[in-house]
Amino acid sequence: MMRFLLLFSRQGKLRLQKWFTPISEREKKKIIRDMTSMVLARQPRSCNFLHWKDLKIIYKRYASLYFCLAVDNQENELLALEVIHRYVELLDKYFGNVCELDIIFNFEKAYFILDEFLIGGEIQETSKQVVNRCIESSDMLQETMEEYMSKPAF
Amino acid sequence: MIRAIRSARTQCEERGVIQRECAAIRAQFRQVDNGGARSHNLAKLLYVHMLGYPAHFGQMECVRMIASPRYSEKRVGYLGAMMLLDEKQDASLLITNSIKNDLAHSNQYVQSLALCTLACMGSAEMCRDLAPEIDRLLRASNSYIKKKAALCAVHIVRKVHDLGELFAPAARSLLAEKNHGQLILTFSVCYNVFVPCVSQTVPDLVQIMKGLVISGYSPEHDVAGISDPFLQVRILRLLRILGRHNETASDAMNDLLAQVATNTDSTKTVGNAVLYETVLTVLDIKSESGLRVLAVNILGRFLLNNDRNIRYIAMTSLQRIVGTDHNAVQRHRGTIVDCLKDQDASVKRRALELSLALVSASNIRTMMKELLLFLSSCPPELRAQAASGIFHAAERYAPSQRWHIDTILHVLTTAGGDVRDETVPNLIQLITNTSELHCYTVHKLYRALLTDISQPSLVQVACWCIGEYGDLLLKGECQETEPSQVTEDDALDALETVLQSHMSSPATRGFALTATMKLSTRITENVDRIRSIVSIYGSCMDVELQQRAVEYNALFRKYDHMRAAVLERMPVIEKNSSGHTNGETAGDAVKEIQPAAVKQTGPLLPQQPANQVHPPTVPVYEKDGVSLTLICEKTSDSGMTVTLTASNSTDSDISVFTLQAAVPKSVQLHMKAPSGDFLPARGAAKVTQMVALNNPNKVNLKMRIRISYNTSQGSAYQDTVQIDSFPGL
């Protein structure tokens, strides 16, 4: 089971945080600090896996963003790398050639996509098309509802 | 707004912008309804929260927005709930009702929002309340919802274990699904929760897996040529759990695992992921030996891979089986040892652990060379672990004593600061045990001391050895190393440097001082120099050193005749004997010299507070009007205090009343000063004397007391009484 997913830039600014277990605010802040310092201190071509307390940390760098995923000790690390890659692909498909700015300015969309892909620390849907279709339908629903609500009632 | 925040150049400016925005947001929240701006405001707030600023005033707004009928607001509201609320907040209870309503909503996306939030941050109470709803949704026909409901169920069961039975029937029906998306869900559910009810389905699982591996290209689920690796890994994991202690299940899986292992393409990470999972499964279940060999071979191939990640996980897996399949792992020892030189810290750590596990009697010399090389270049956080691992290995497989001592010395010189404290006494004990190498050891240590006095453990051991075996050092010749002439002055110089160096800790200085003192019996000419050194430290600021120096001075002055006996060679120390490490025994010997019979030196155990229960007073001697009573109190595990009280019931006074005591050989005795020596007539006053006894060997305690006094007529009187049993013991 995955414990949390963090996205942060090379300067250590947090771009996305998703927690799959209940943790207090102070703990969250501490974990974010630890993660950023640990991952940013790594050499460029070193192993993608770290050990932290009793969790495994898998991180991958895409352009200027670090994707950091924490999993239980029994999980398959290589598969976690694939999970990260799959999420990046989903973002790419949705935003079209995604870059960090897209995630900064549309962070709620990034969250929605993540919620379609992972729930409660587990993978929800393995097919890219299905996930994309769901997101598109949700967006469509939102727009039509907006239009519907904003139209004056007859 | 985001642009505004990003354009703020300094932290201060940013804070200002954010505060203004927050104020605006708060004002807008207080307004009852302002159209579509509410979701925007909440989104802004969430961004601010992500930057790390406090955002709890948004919680109530989240609750309100979740309850609103508009989809966009619901979306952002739920997102806010997941980010701002957690189990412990009270506001989370308020959304339970909203979630319930939304779960019954007609629109599947609304339902999915609710499910997602529940799975993410549902507390135990919420889970209990909403479990029946989730169960209903599990049986619904909509596959999209079923997926989410299943994962929600997983979360619920993780939180509240007894609800597992509630979901069991629904889960079984999920197994029949053909849809990939469903399947992956099912398996997540299954292996997390319902393992017992799924055990009959192993053949089905095998079938599904085969289908995945052999089947053609499925563009939806394909990742770099492997069809649906996520699902494959899940199935493998489930198979592992099912086959763990189950022979029949394992048999059914053998073929499949072999097929997967051989057919999976391992050029990309995905393929390796599947292979890795397969290997783990094979190693965990009761597989046949051919399959295990295949698995270990795959791991060997991983080890040779250029990709660091693969090597890392190969070593992790090998670590798991090194206990059971030791020989198989030994074959790859060379590669593992090479990984020690890798630049990556994680890989190094794994390689170190695995290397230490692989050390055996046959390869100890080569491995030790590699490990020592590693120690000199390893990162600081691994040093302590490496040093202690090397010590363990050396202890278990040392081919010869000399090699053992050499190795330990090498470790101390390279990583002396990181070794644990008990290495010093262990090393000392080892050295005393190898009597034929004393000369060699002391020469080597002396030379090491001359080159470098910064490593505390090394310096301590070196000082101790020089003190003990100083005469061997000064003799000059030694068969095992080149002879070098060491004069008494040189030795004393070395010790003095240690004493005066600012790098020496107080414990090290203590060692050096004791060593200097011991040398006073081993050398002949510079005794005065030693006396002067010792007396300088008599006024040292450090209390421990000062005490030692004063005691040693006393040894020079008053008890010079005993000096040789006190400072002679230490006997061979047994392992785990308490209180006999370091040269402290020499110092304590001075304290124990008493007029009463003392048979052995040793530190007195610390006095614990005496029991509050009043021990009984036992009369032990009654003659001619003089009576002696005894009160016994246990003060520690092997120590006690005996109080002797004497009184005089005759009509005449008694003077010069003294008591002397003797105890068996292994018991230590310490008589405190009596309260007086005059016993007035008719019991007008008593004389008490306290005796402290220490019985570490727990022998049968007996005490012989000699009473002597002068009567008022002037005649001397003496008597002896033996006490065989001590009450209150």
pLDDT at site B336: 80
Mean of all residue pLDDT scores within chain A: 85
The nearest CA of chain A is from the CA of B92 a distance in Å of 12
User: If you average pLDDT over every residue of chain B, what do you get?
Assistant: 72
Contact A124, B148 (CB under 8 A): yes
**Two structure tokens written together for A149:** 């609500």
Q: Where residue B193 falls among pLDDT bands split at 50, 70, 90?
A: low
Interface test with B, best of A115, A116, A118 (most B CBs within 10 A): A115
| The token pair that represents B688 in the structure block | 């008490």
What is the pLDDT at residue B612? 41
Q: Taking CB atoms and an 8 Å limit, are B185 and A81 in contact across chains? A: no
DSSP line for B17-61: HHHHHHHHHHHHHHSS--TTHHHHHHHHHHHHHHHT---GGGHHH
* Minimum mean pLDDT range among B64-68, B241-245, B497-501, B638-642: B241-245
Instruction: Answer for the pair B118, B128: CB distance below 8 angstroms, yes or no.
Output: no
Least CA distance to A125: which residue of chain B? B181
* Inter-chain touch A77–B313, beta carbons under 8 Å: yes
Of residues B591 and B257, more confidence is placed in B257
Q: Which of B44, B188, B244 to mutate to test the interface with A (most CBs of A within 10 A)?
A: B188
Mean of the pLDDT values across residues B414-423?
Answer: 71
DSSP code, position B721: E
For CA atoms B312, B316, B322, B326, give the dihedral sign. negative
The answer on pLDDT for A58 being more than 80 is yes
Domain covering B617-723: architecture: Sandwich (2.60)
Among B47, B71, B185, beta carbon nearest to A107: B47
Residue among A120, A2, A117 nearest B119 (CA): A120
Measure B233 CA to nearest chain A CA, in Å. 8
- Do the chains contact at A46 and B345, CB–CB below 8 Å? yes
Q: Taking a C-beta distance cutoff of 8 angstroms, is the pair B549, B532 a contact?
A: no
The answer to whether residue B74 scores a pLDDT higher than 60 is yes
Of the spans B27-36, B412-421, B458-467, which averages the highest pLDDT?
B458-467
In this complex, the residue of A79, A124, A145 whose CB is nearest that of residue B151 is A124
Position B200 scores a pLDDT of: 54
- The two three-digit tokens of residue B561, written as one number: 């005749």
CB-side exposure of A101: number of CA atoms within 13 Å?
Answer: 4
The encoded tokens of residue B594 equal: 């008493």
Across B96-105, B159-168, B459-468, B652-661, least confident range: B159-168
Contact of B522 with B471, CB cutoff 8 Å: yes
| pLDDT digit string, tens, across residues B614-638 | 556 777 777 777 788 887 777 776 7
Structure tokens at B400: 């010869």
Residue of A nearest to B123 (CA): A22
CA atoms within 13 A on the CB side of A17: 25
Percent of the residues in chain B that have a pLDDT greater than 90, as a whole number? 0
Report pLDDT digits (tens) over B228-281.
Answer: 777 777 777 777 776 776 677 677 777 777 877 777 777 777 778 888 888 888
B273 by DSSP, 3-state: which?
A: helix
In angstroms, the first-to-last Cα distance of chain B is 82
Closest CB to B220: pick one of A1, A129, A142: A129
Which residues make beta-bridge pairs with B626? B623, B648
Q: Please give the Cα distance from B200 to B177 (Å, whole number).
A: 17
Neighbours of A33 (CB within 10 A): 11
Q: CB–CB of A22 and B121 under 8 A?
A: yes
Q: What percent of chain B has pLDDT over 70?
A: 76
SS3 of B346, please?
helix
- What local confidence, expressed as pLDDT, does residue B708 receive? 82
- Per-residue pLDDT of B324-336, as tens digits, reads 777 777 777 877 8
Nearest to B638 by CA among B675, B663, B617, B672: B663
User: For residue B520, which of B509, B529, B508, B511 has the smallest C-alpha distance?
Assistant: B529
pLDDT of residue B7: 63
Tell me, what amino acid is at B642?
Answer: V
Rounded Cα gap, residues B351 and B179, in angstroms: 42
Residue B173, pLDDT above cutoff 80 = no
Chain A closest CA to B203's CA: distance in Å? 23
Instruction: Among B86, B87, B312, select the one facing A49 at the smallest CB separation.
Output: B312
- Residue the block writes with tokens 């036992």: B618
User: Coil, helix or strand for B73?
Assistant: helix
Closest chain A CA to residue B308: A47
Confidence class for position A5, pLDDT limits 50, 70, 90:
very high
Helix (H, G, I), strand (E, B) or coil at B222: strand
B chain contacts of residue A83, beta-carbon cutoff 8 Å? 230
CA distance B312 to A57: 13
| Neighbour-count burial of A70, counting CB atoms closer than 10 A to its CB (0-12 exposed, 13-18 middle, 19+ buried) | buried
- Model pLDDT, residue B585: 41
Mean pLDDT of B519-548: 78
The answer, for B154 touching chain A at a CB cutoff of 8 Å, is yes
**Number of cross-chain residue pairs from A and B with Cβ atoms under 8 Å apart:** 154
pLDDT at position B181 is: 52
Closest alpha carbon to B669 in B622, B609, B604: B604
Residue A148 CB contacts under 8 Å (≥ 6 apart), including other chains: none
pTM of the model: 0.67
Q: What angle do CA B156, A124, A26 make, to 5 degrees?
A: 60
Q: Residues 6 or more apart from B620 whose CB is under 8 A from it?
A: B628, B629, B630, B705, B721, B723
Q: Where are the domains of chain B?
A: 435-567, 617-723
**pLDDT at site B588:** 41
How far away is chain B from the Cα of A91, in angstroms, using its nearest Cα?
16
Position A67 scores a pLDDT of: 92
Query: In B, residues 348-367, which contact A (CB 8 Å cutoff)?
Result: 349
Average pLDDT over residues B496-501: 78
The pLDDT assigned to B590 comes to: 39
When pLDDT is cut at 50, 70 and 90, the band that residue B199 belongs to is low
Across the interface, whether the CB atoms of B233 and A23 are under 8 A apart is answered no
DSSP B172: H
* Paired tokens of B132: 């029946």
> B703 and B661 in contact (C-beta within 8 Å)?
yes
**Residue range B545-568: average pLDDT?**
78
- Amino acid letter for position B647: S
Q: Do A137 and B109 touch (CB under 8 A)?
A: yes
Residues 6+ apart with CB under 8 A from B370: B337, B340, B355
Q: Is the pLDDT of residue B120 over 50?
A: yes
B441 vs B194, residue with greater confidence: B441
**Measured between alpha carbons, how far is residue B8 from residues B15, B88, B115, B683 in Å?**
9, 34, 38, 95
Q: What is the pLDDT of residue B591?
A: 38
b/e map of B573-589 (b: 16 or more CB within 10 Å)?
beeeeeebbbbebbbbb
HEC readout, B537-582 = HHHCCCHHHHHHHHHHHHHHHCCHHHHHHHCCCCCCCCCCCCCCCC
Judged by CB atoms closer than 8 Å, whether chains meet at A145 and B71 is answered as yes
The strand pairing partners of A60, in sequence order, are A67
How far apart CA B603 and CA B590 sit, in angstroms, is 11
Q: Where are the domains of chain A?
A: 2-150
Distance from CA of A96 to the nearest CA of B (A): 19
Contact assessment for residue B684 and residue B652, using Cβ atoms and an 8 Å cutoff: no
Greatest mean pLDDT range, B122-131, B175-184, B599-608: B122-131
C-alpha B539/C-alpha B536 separation (Å) is: 6
A69 pLDDT tier (thresholds 50, 70, 90):
very high
The shortest C-alpha distance from A149 to chain B (Å) reads: 8
Residue B180 tokens read as 């990939």
Residue-wise pLDDT for B8-44, tens only, equals 566 777 777 777 777 777 777 766 555 556 777 777 7
* Contact B105/A at CB under 8 A: no
Q: What fold does the segment set A2-150 form as a domain?
A: Beta-Lactamase (3.30.450)
Beta bridge pairs of residue A69: A5, A58
- The one-letter code for the residue type at B196 is P
CA distance B565 to B572: 16
Q: Which residues of A touch B311 (CB under 8 A)?
A: 47
- The arithmetic mean of pLDDT across residues B103-114, rounded, is 77
Q: Which residues pair with B718 in a beta bridge?
A: B708
Interface of B with A in 190-249 (CB under 8 A): 192, 220-221, 223, 228-231, 233, 237
Looking at the predicted structure, is the pLDDT value of residue B613 above 50? no
